[in-house]
Amino acid sequence: MRRVAIVGVLIIVAFLLQSTVFRWLAIAGIVPNILIIITSSFGFMRGRKEGMVIGFVCGLLVDIFFGDIIGFYALIYLFIGYINGIFRAIFYPEDIKLPMILISTSEIIYCLLCYIFLFLLRGRLNFLHYLLYVILPEIVYTVVITIIIYRGILLINEWLESFEKRS
Amino acid sequence: MAKNHRHKFSIPSRYVLLALSMLCVVMMVISFATDVMSVPLNSVVGYVIVPFQKGISKAGEWLNDRTDSLNTIKDLQKENSELKAKVDELSIGMNDLQADRYELSELRELFALDERYSDYKKVGARVIGKDTGNWFSNFIIDKGANDGISVDMNVMAGSGLVGIVTEVGPNWASVKSIIDDETNLSGMVMSTSDNLIVSGDLNLMNDGNIRFSQLIDSENKVVTGDQIVTSTISDKYLPNITVGYITEIKEDSNNLTKSGYLTPVVDFKHLNTVLVITDLKQGK
C-alpha cells in the first residue's frame, strides 16, 4: 500500500514537472522525458509486472491530457515497462551502466515509435530532420536528467524495499 | 512466509501484459469511436493533477515576473522615451483614424457586418501546462466545462488565433495550437478573399512558422506581408480571426496553386494567458 502511494505520487510529480517546470527549462523547445525514466527504472528494479503497471499509468496520464485517442501512449509505456522488467535478473543497484543503457534504449525506442505511428503514417517522410531536431536532443537531454535523478529513484526504491522486508 | 506463498500463485506477467494491452486497444477503439471515456477520466485528472499545475504555473509566473522586472528597468526607461515620441506621432494619426472609424461604423451598420470577433463572447484563461512530449504543441488551460468551455471552441491570444479546444475536463481544457503538426485549417487572404489551407509543421515549429498551401491566385495579387485570416467556409474556426502574415510565397510545380510560409501573430513561446471564444461556429 505504501509502495502504491509513494510511486503514485512520484508519477504525478514527474508528470507535473514535465508539463510545467521543464517547459521553462526547455532547451531549443525540447523537454526531457521523465516518465520514461520512471517507467524504465522501476521496470528493471522491480520486474515486469510493476514496470508494466507504472508504464500503463504514466502513458494513460499523457493520453488523457494530450492524446487524440486514449490508450496509445499507455500501450507504448506498457511495453517499455515490461521489456525493462526482463532485465531485472541482471540488475545490481551498484551498477550504473545497465540502467543508463536501458533508459536510453527505452527513450530511443519510444521516440522511434512516436515517429512511426504519429508522423510516418501521416506521410511525414523527412526522418532525418525529426532525428536531428527532436529525437536526438530529447535523448541527450533525457540521459543528462537520468544522471541527476536516477540516484533518487534508486534510493526511494531501496527505502520502500526496506519497509517491505521488515513487514 | 505467507507473502512468498501468495507470490507462487500470482498470475504470470505475460498474461498481465496481454490483459493490459487488450485494455489499451479496447480503450483506443472506444475513444476513437465515441467520447464516453473522456468524461470520467477527464474529471478524475481534473481534481488530481490540475490544481497542482495551477499552483506551479502561478509560482513560475511570479518568479518570471520578478526576474523580468529586475532585468528590464533600464530597458523600460529607454523604451519610455521612445514611446513618448511615438505617442505624439500616433495622436496625430489618431485623428485621421477617428474620422475613418466613424465612416466605417456607419458603413458596417449599413451592411450589418456584426460578425467581427470583437463581438464574440470570450473567456480569459491561464496556460497551466504544456505537452509533455516534443512532437506536438498542445497546452492545458485552467478553465473547463464548469466555465462554459466545450470542444471545438476557438482560442485566441491578443489579436490572433492560437488554436482550438480538443478536450475538456471540469476545470481544465486541452488546446491544440495552430502550429501543431496535426492542425489543418481553412484560411483566407484578407485582401483578395482567396482561400488556402494553413497547416502546422513540426519542422517549422521552432522557427515559429507555419505552412500554407492550395492558394489559387491566378492574378498574382497575393504578396508577402498579406494578412491571412480564418476563412468563412471553415467548419470549426470562426471567420475573420487573424492567423498571421505571409513571409514567403512560391508557385507550386503544378502552376495552378501557390504555397509558402506565414508567421503567426501569436508568440507561441511566451503564451501565458489566452482568450477562449465561447461562441461555436456551429451553434449547438
At B58-79, the pLDDT tens digits run 887 787 777 777 777 778 888 8
Total-model pTM: 0.77
| Chain B, window 199-258: residues with a beta carbon less than 8 angstroms from a chain A beta carbon | 202-203, 205-206
pLDDT of residue B2: 45
Grid cell 502552376 in the structure block, residue = B255
Who has greater pLDDT, B164 or B88?
Answer: B164
Looking at this protein, which amino acid is placed at residue A56?
A: F
Distance, in Å, from the CA atom of B149 to the CA atom of B157, rounded to the nearest integer, reads: 16
pLDDT computed for residue B1 by the predictor: 41
Q: Smallest Cα–Cα separation from B266: which of B237, B282, B252, B245?
A: B245
Among residues B284, B193, B182, B181, the alpha carbon closest in space to that of B240 is found at B193
Question: Chain A residue with minimal CA distance to B173?
Answer: A65
Question: Cβ separation of B57 and A35 shorter than 8 Å?
Answer: no
pLDDT tens readout for residues B189-226: 988 888 999 998 888 877 778 999 988 887 888 888 88
Res B113 pLDDT > 50: no
CATH 2.40.10.340 fits domain B121-284: yes
Which pLDDT score, from 0 to 100, does residue A55 have?
Answer: 95
For the segment B22-30, the average pLDDT, to the nearest whole number, is 91
The answer to whether residues B198 and B211 touch, using CB atoms and an 8 Å cutoff, is yes
Q: What integer pLDDT is reported at residue A37 of this predicted model?
A: 94
Of the candidates A101, A39, A44, A100, the one whose C-alpha atom is nearest the C-alpha of residue A75 is: A39
| Chain B residues within 8 A of A24 when measuring between CB atoms | 60, 64
Domain map (residue ranges) of chain B: 121-284
Q: How far apart are the first and last CA of chain B?
A: 62
Beta carbons of A65 and B132 less than 8 Å apart? yes
Per-residue pLDDT, averaged over B85-106, amounts to 79
What is the rounded average pLDDT of the residues A119-148? 89
CB contact under 8 A, B23 and A47: no
pLDDT at B284 over 60: no
Q: Apex CA B200: angle with CA B209 and CA A119, to 5°?
A: 125
pLDDT by residue (tens digit) across A75-133? 999 999 999 999 999 999 888 899 999 999 999 999 999 999 988 988 888 889 889 88
- Which element (helix H / strand E) includes B47? helix B38-48
Task: Give, rounded to a whole angstrom, the gap between the first and last alpha carbons of chain A.
Answer: 12
CB contact (8 A) between residue B130 and residue A85: no
The DSSP line for chain A is -HHHHHHHHHHHHHHHIIIIIHHHS-BTTB---HHHHHHHHHHHHH-HHHHHHHHHHHHHHHHHHH-SSTTHHHHHHHHHHHHHHHGGGG--TT--HHHHHHHHHHHHHHHHHHIIIIIGGGT---HHHHIIIIIHHHHHHHHHHHHHHHHHHHHHHHHHHHHHHH-
Q: Do B232 and B188 form a contact (C-beta atoms < 8 A)?
A: yes
Smallest CA–CA distance, residue A75 to chain B, in Å, is 6
- Band (B3; pLDDT cuts 50, 70, 90): very low
Considering chain B, what is the average pLDDT of its residues? 83
CA torsion angle B112 B118 B121 B127 (round to 10): 160
Q: How far apart are CA B27 and CA B33, in angstroms?
A: 10
d(CA A16, nearest CA chain B) in Å? 6
Whole-number Cα distances in Å, B258 to A82, B60, B183, B225, B239: 49, 43, 19, 15, 22
Within 8 A of A54 by CB-CB distance, chain B residues are none
Using an 8 Å CB-CB cutoff, list chain A residues near B136.
66, 118
Residues from chain A that touch B133, judged by Cβ atoms under 8 A, are 31, 33, 62, 66, 114
B34 vs A86 pLDDT, higher one: A86
Average pLDDT over residues B84-88: 84
pLDDT interval class at A54 (50, 70, 90): very high
**Cβ A16–B130 below 8 Å, yes or no?**
no
B26 has a chain A CB within 8 A of its CB? yes
- A126 interaction partners in chain B (CB closer than 8 Å): 203
Question: CB B24 to CB A35 under 8 A?
Answer: no
Q: How confident is the model at residue B22 (pLDDT cuts 50, 70, 90)?
A: very high
Q: Supply the DSSP symbol for B179.
A: T
Q: How far is residue B18's CA from residue B11's CA, in Å, rounded to a whole number?
A: 11
Give the domains, in start order, of chain A with CATH numbers. Answer: 2-166 (1.10.1760)
Residue A25 to residue B191: CA distance in whole angstroms: 41
B228, B186 in Cβ contact below 8 A? no
